[in-house]
């Protein structure tokens, strides 16, 4: 049987087709041999003709049939009829989760409850040595009593297997596929990633990275930070965003060790704070716990398998400022739409802020002087004060060049794939841009405003800094937990420095020769000595660090996070303050004015910039 199914399939009467996709058709059917209704999945003829796949299918279907769990749909029979592989499952009178989500987001408690049930199912599947590989809302059935069941083991896989199919093709649904799946790695942690995607969709009724084409989906899964549900639905607790970010960590070692651990973190995140921290009875015990509160906050989350893995927390970490230093947000300045990258011109004192379609300019008095329209999707900005130019990286694949004297766009240099980070080197009269799509660094001649070269051999480059000027670049490799050191005189990579998970931003203290690297998934900052190119310290900073800036004169490092800025004392690498700012769920930027020592941080959701004053004496 190679054509489309009609009304019969062996002993099965096909009553109604429930769905169809790349991995086959699902029918509501009646098993005439056993007098029972079933949900029947019939796999494509192409897979059925593959002898390697058929052998694996029989082995995995047998294993899946042995899983007996209240939240796993029972497999009643499997095999081949007229050359077509099939699985007969217990029918469920209910609605799949994807259909339910077309009506809108679920209440938080219901979303977490469904994920907890499916997590139980996945733990049972994983204990049987299987990986589901296609965890998504359409494979979750909800009955009239609210009981959730995991269905569709048509592409399940044993954890001890190494290839995806006989042809090596990636199978599954790209919108929920863990980054490692695209390189052929399959493990239970891949299902944990997918379940975190499902949690996000339950809370927002949106796929984590939208409904883009497969190429963009893959690119987002490999490179984009985990989305924030609270950005879409304000009633979502911030702590749940932290759970989703942990579950969607690019590096599997940064995720909870099991689906159950993810679900427990989600349940803990939605409980009242008193419950989350533990209800303790007795005044003496309460006093003791109060004294140990900081240590409790810093304890790694359950399931963290990497020493630098990100803990799950209900709130960003805070510390008590040192008595000798005071930091406070002193102003909120409206700027352009969705501000992200930010840079200060050290000569004029002007500040340049990249928005979704423009470059805003604040004068030295922090007044919005003008807004310069930009095409594409601008993201990051750097200033070359000596050349009188601003360079704006555009993720559509280019760099906009703006004359700071006239505030006019001089042109756009096409640089290739997915331009993310920019850095200026006034000594070499160059600007550099990381192209995440092409795994390259583009070299721009700041005199002629042309692309003068391309540096290859870098993996997933994002953040970039030029130091020392004239000869060296430091580039973060987001998916590879490293920083590349490049000799710009030869375009050769001279060192590769291991750091934390998902290094995405970088800044330099030129007075000390120290580089600071933000590790997003590890919730930390790596401190690199440029004389030895080694990490000398790792500072835990809390949830969602995304940008970093240095005040070298005062020995302070500022890290922009979810709704806070963490202040680090650069002399002993300790956290000395946490300053509340606006909301910025998709990538804040931060800069320091070296003349005034003021800190400026972008708030993407608020369309504002927060001004922080530091008064260390």
Binding site, by residue number, is 41
Cα torsion angle, 371, 376, 381, 385, sign = negative
Pair 316, 561: CB distance under 8 Å: yes
| Continuous segment of H or E residues that includes residue 20 | strand 12-21
- Find all residues with CB under 8 Å of 357, minimum gap 6, and list them: 336, 337, 373, 374, 375, 378
As a whole number of angstroms, the longest Cα–Cα distance in the chain is: 86
Return the CA Rg of the chain: 27
Query: Which positions make up the binding site for ATP?
Result: 41
Burial grade of 299 (CB within 10 A; 0-12, 13-18, 19 or more): exposed
Residue closest to 362 by CA, chosen among 565, 614, 613, 602: 602
Residue closest to 120 by CA, chosen among 248, 249, 261, 276: 261
> How much of the chain is in helix, strand and coil states, percent to nearest 5?
20, 35, 40
Residue closest to 318 by CA, chosen among 559, 599, 608: 559
Tell how strand 503-509 and strand 514-519 pair up.
antiparallel
Q: Is the peptide bond before 168 cis (omega within 30 degrees of 0)?
A: no
Of the residues 134, 152, 551, 605, which is catalytic? 134
Q: How many CB atoms lie within 10 A of CB 67?
A: 20
| 134 included as an active-site residue | yes
**Coil, strand, or helix at residue 230?**
helix
Tell how strand 148-150 and strand 140-143 pair up.
antiparallel
Q: How many CB atoms lie within 10 A of CB 438?
A: 18
Q: Give how far Cα 489 sits from Cα of 431, 461, 493, Å.
A: 14, 19, 11
No. of helices (H) and no. of strands (E), the chain: 12, 39
Buried b (16+ CB within 10 A) or exposed e, 466-499: bbeeeebbbbbbbbbbbbbbbebeeeebebebeb
Cα torsion angle, 502, 508, 513, 514, sign = negative
Q: Which residues are catalytic?
A: 134
């Amino acid at each position: 049987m190679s054509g489309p199914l009609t009304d019969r399939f062996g002993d099965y009467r096909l009553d109604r087709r429930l769905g169809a996709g790349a991995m086959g058709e699902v029918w509501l059917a009646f098993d005439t041999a056993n007098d029972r209704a079933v949900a029947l999945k019939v796999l494509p003829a192409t897979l059925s003709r593959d002898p390697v796949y058929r052998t694996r299918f029989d082995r995995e279907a047998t294993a899946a049939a042995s899983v007996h769990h209240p939240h796993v749909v029972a497999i009643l029979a499997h095999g081949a009829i007229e050359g077509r592989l099939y699985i007969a499952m217990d029918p469920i009178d209910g609605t799949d989760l994807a259909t339910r989500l077309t009506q809108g987001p679920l209440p938080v408690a219901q979303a977490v409850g469904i994920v907890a049930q499916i997590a139980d199912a996945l733990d049972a599947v994983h204990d049987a040595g299987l990986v589901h590989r296609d965890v998504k809302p359409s494979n979750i059935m909800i009955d009239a009593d609210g009981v959730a069941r995991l269905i569709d083991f048509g592409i399940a896989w044993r954890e001890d297997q190494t290839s995806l199919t006989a042809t090596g093709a990636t199978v599954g649904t790209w919108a929920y596929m863990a980054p490692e799946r695209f390189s052929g790695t399959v493990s239970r942690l891949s299902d944990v990633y997918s379940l975190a995607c499902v949690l996000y969709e339950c809370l927002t009724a949106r796929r984590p990275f939208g409904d883009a084409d497969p190429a963009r989906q893959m690119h987002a899964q490999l490179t984009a930070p985990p989305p924030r549900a609270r950005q879409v639905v304000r009633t979502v607790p911030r702590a749940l965003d932290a759970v989703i970010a942990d579950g969607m960590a690019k590096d599997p070692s940064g995720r909870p060790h099991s689906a159950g651990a993810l679900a427990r973190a989600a349940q803990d995140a939605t409980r009242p704070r008193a419950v989350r921290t533990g209800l303790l009875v007795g005044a003496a015990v309460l006093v003791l716990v109060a004294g140990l509160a900081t240590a409790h906050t810093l304890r790694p989350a359950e399931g963290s398998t990497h020493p630098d893995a990100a803990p799950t927390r209900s709130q960003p970490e805070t510390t008590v400022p040192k008595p000798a230093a005071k930091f406070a947000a002193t102003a909120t300045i409206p700027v352009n739409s969705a501000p992200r990258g930010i840079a200060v011109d050290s000569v004029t004192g002007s500040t340049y802020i990249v928005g979704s379609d423009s470059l805003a300019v604040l004068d030295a008095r922090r007044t919005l002087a003008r807004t310069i329209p930009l095409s594409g999707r601008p993201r990051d900005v750097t200033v070359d004060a000596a050349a009188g130019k601003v360079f704006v990286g555009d993720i559509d694949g280019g760099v906009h060049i703006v004359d700071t004297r006239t505030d006019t766009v001089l042109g756009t240099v096409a640089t290739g794939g997915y331009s993310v980070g920019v850095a200026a080197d006034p000594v070499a009269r160059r600007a550099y841009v990381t192209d995440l799509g092409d795994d390259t660094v583009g070299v721009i001649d700041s005199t002629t405003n042309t692309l003068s070269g391309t540096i290859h051999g870098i993996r997933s480059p994002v953040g970039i800094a030029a130091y020392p000027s004239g000869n060296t670049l430091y580039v973060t490799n987001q998916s590879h937990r490293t920083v590349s050191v490049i000799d710009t005189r030869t375009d050769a990579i001279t060192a590769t420095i291991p750091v934390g998970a998902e290094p995405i931003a970088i800044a330099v203290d030129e007075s000390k020769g120290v580089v600071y690297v933000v590790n997003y998934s590890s919730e930390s900052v790596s401190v690199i000595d440029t004389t030895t190119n080694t990490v000398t310290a790792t500072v835990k900073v809390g949830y969602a660090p995304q940008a970093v800036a240095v005040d070298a004169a005062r020995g302070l490092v500022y890290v922009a996070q979810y709704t806070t800025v963490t202040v680090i004392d650069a002399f002993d690498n300790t956290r000395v303050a946490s300053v509340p700012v606006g909301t910025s769920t998709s990538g804040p930027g931060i800069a320091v004015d070296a003349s005034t020592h003021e800190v400026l941080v972008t708030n993407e959701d608020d369309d504002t910039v927060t001004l922080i004053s530091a008064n260390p004496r």
